[in-house]
Chains A and B, each alone.
Chain A
Amino acid sequence: MLGYFQSFSLPGAAQNLVCWIALFRAVFMASIARKNLFEDIPRFLVAQAGILFAVSLVTIQTGLLRGFMRSTTLLVENSRADIWVSSEDIANLDLTLPIPYERVAQARGVRGVARAEALLTQGALWRDASDALSSVKVIGFEPDGQLLSPGQLTQGSQRDLSEPYSVILDTTKVASLGVRRLGDEAAVNSRQARLAGLTSHIQSSASSPFLFASLETANAYVNSRLTSGATRATAPALEALSATDSITYVLVQAEPGEDLQALQQRLEAALPDTRAYTRAQMASQTQAYWQKRTSIGLILGLGAVVGVVVGIVIVSQILYSSVSDHLKEFGTLKAMGASNWVTYSVIIEQALWMSVLGYLPGMALCLGVAAWTSTQGVLILITPALAAGIFGVTVVMCVGSALFAIQKVTRVDPAIVFKA
């Protein structure tokens, strides 16, 4: 039977589910469980709504947490750098001290480095045409470089950033920043900014809207003074960065076949007061920071736990009430000589049906919500592994909720089915 089902091209989790249900039906009585469940449709729908709610809550909270974590490292994941060199004073990707631009040249001189490029990140003030203020995160990089990408451009080109004071924004943030189309102008600190391109899916939920610019433009923005709205933003000629100008990271690409660990050590030795991280280490350190040193993990995790608790309460009530309504039937089965396991199997099968029929619409709803929120710049990350994990949680939740009902059935005296 298992082989029969494996011939279908169902995803792993769904395939396993189908097999288990078929196996369960082959071993235990299917009819009583299913028919008792569907006997009272309104009650069944209430139960399914409860499970759907629980599944949605757990999925969205967990997806938000994963999406948040992922978004904090999108910049790292979009880079092609093997190693990120930062100040030795670093808490996470967004919280580190600057290093001098000369570190880029020093890095290029280290054996095993194929390419080194500068990355400058710093917060700044955005002022749109109507003088409305917003904060942005300026990300300065080399538009002709190869180690950082501003994501998937939907309009404009990365090379357009070579034009002074040109910027690229994420599609989901343009409305909130008061610009609409390419060529629209605003100000960053006291310097002009012209929208030259739009990107997508590279916005961190943990920081202000990303503003991509050339290294020189970014340097001009972060070094310009804040001015009042009455003062018009200016666009003086840009200057190349000097050795003492501040940058945030040196992105390093290793020679093919280079031992990254050894290269890290060489870079840290050659570049004073710096730390070198592989891409994975930088991502992991940043995610660990948000998860452990902020309450974001706790808050979203708590929401997921509440979802499971709500699900358990609802399913327990429905199953207990169903068993109470059919107590004589369970008594009849026991009088006939059915073992406790037979009666348990009826309840467990009901719980399994409830979990499957609550999970599927719940997950479909979450996928829809996730698709919509991604257009709003909020990432709810639902991976196949997460979906499978939530299905496991749903099954455990529903079967676990059957324990009260099972306890009630265990106590049923088969003699209740006789009149006297």
Chain B
Amino acid sequence: MSSRANTSRVHPFWSIENQGQGFVPPVGSKPPEAKAIAARNLEMVVHSGAGRFQILKGIHLEIKKGDVHLLMGPSGSGKTTLLLILAGLLTPTAGSVNSLGQEITRLSREKLARFRLDNIGFVFQDFNLFPALTAAENVGVALNIRGIRGRVAQQQSRYLLEQVGLGDRAHHLPRDLSGGQKQRVAIARALAGGPRIIMADEPTAALDSQSGHMVVELLRNLAKEQGCTVVMVTHDPRIVDVADQVVYLEDGHMKARPKG
């Protein structure tokens, strides 16, 4: 099965009939915003035994809603640190991040967690699936923590897995899935609850080219068909073609302006 054949099955949530009681409204139903994320003058300094390291230096960034935005650069350039700050998982030493209209750098830890729960889906390089749970249960956990349980959660898990072409793998454990399939389960999990932003950290790094292409197509479709903003850290130059903007980081500095 070609990657195109698989990803062509991806279609907007709202086109599905009989979605079941309690189904989360599709992303597109939320009010449009021009900017999804705006970062201003971000600085990140860490202190370790070896001394003081400035990981990010004066980062200004604007990410439009529905864009696929790449953070690229060599290892140690600060890409993942920037992603963590944009996701509200790390507090910058200086500067601010406005995400979906909220100054998340001013939020408490609890409010940040709630913000992530309501608005952000994560895709990790190592998938970070729960190894003891089936694909459907992995997605179900993400629904459970959003208060969606029981039959509704089961229906939505299955639906989300079908969206990523894994409807027939719902009851497989992660160890029985290929790398590409695991990452698609991770994407289905990230889509639980209808996030407005997807943060992906090297989502294709552990995949072969075909699986990587499939995953990138999925993420691109999320942005284009469902208005989801995708921020992706990657080394993979093949992804540049599907991106709306690309930021190159080197030694904590932005080296190039966004694509387009």
Contact = CB atoms under 8 A, between A and B. Distances in A.
A414 interface: yes
Given A418-B201, A419-B126, A336 B90 contact: no
Contacts of B142: 336
Contacts of B114: 337, 339
B145 A336 contact: yes
Contacts of B137: 31, 35
Interface in B182-206: 201-202
Contact of B90 (A38, A334, A415): A415
Interface in B83-124: 83-84, 87, 89-90, 110, 113-118, 120-122, 124
Query: Chain A contact residues: over half helix, strand or loop, or mixed?
Result: helix
A333 B145 contact: yes
Given A32-B130, A39-B132, A337-B116, A419 B145 contact: no
A269 B115 CA distance: 82
A338 B89 contact: no
B6 interface: no
A266 interface: no
B4 to A, nearest CB: 29
A337 B120 contact: yes
Given A31-B140, A329-B128, A338 B145 contact: yes
Given A32-B133, A418-B80, A337 B126 contact: no
B144 A29 contact: yes
Contacts of A39: 131-132
Contacts of A331: 128
Interface in A399-420: 414-415, 417-420
A332 B117 contact: no
Contacts of B89: 335, 414-415, 418
Contacts of A337: 113-118, 120, 145
A32 B121 CA distance: 20
Contact of A31 (B118, B125, B141): B141
Nearest to A40: B132
Contact of A420 (B80, B126, B141): B80
B203 to A, nearest CB: 11
A134 interface: no
Given A29-B145, A332-B124, A415 B133 contact: no
B79 interface: yes
Residue of A339, A415, A418 ringed by the most chain B CB atoms within 10 A: A418
Contacts of B140: 31
B113 A419 contact: no
Nearest to A342: B145
B156 interface: no
A329 B120 CA distance: 17
B64 interface: no
Contacts of A36: 132
B124 A420 contact: no
Interface in A300-346: 328-329, 331-339, 342
A262 interface: no
Determine the interface band of chain A, counting residues with CB < 8 A from chain B.
20 to 34
A335 B126 CA distance: 14
Contacts of B245: none
Interface in B56-90: 79-81, 83-84, 87, 89-90
Given A337-B145, A342-B145, A414-B89, A420 B79 contact: yes
A274 B48 CA distance: 84
A26 B150 CA distance: 8
A418 B83 contact: yes
A329 B142 CA distance: 12
Nearest to A33: B132
Nearest to A36: B132
A14 B55 CA distance: 57
Nearest to A339: B113
Contacts of B11: none
A348 to B, nearest CB: 15
Contacts of A28: 144
Given A337-B114, A337-B118, A414-B89, A35 B141 contact: no
A329 B127 CA distance: 11
B149 interface: yes
A32 B149 CA distance: 14
A35 B129 CA distance: 13
Contacts of B79: 420
B59 to A, nearest CB: 15
16 contacts: A26-B149, A29-B145, A31-B137, A31-B141, A32-B141, A35-B133, A39-B132, A328-B128, A335-B87, A336-B117, A337-B113, A337-B115, A337-B116, A337-B118, A414-B89, A418-B83
Interface of B: 79-81, 83-84, 87, 89-90, 110, 113-118, 120-122, 124-126, 128, 130-133, 137, 140-142, 144-145, 149, 201-202
Complex A-B, nearest 9 residue pairs according to Cβ-Cβ distance, in ascending order: A337-B117, A420-B80, A337-B116, A35-B132, A332-B128, A338-B145, A39-B132, A29-B144, A337-B113
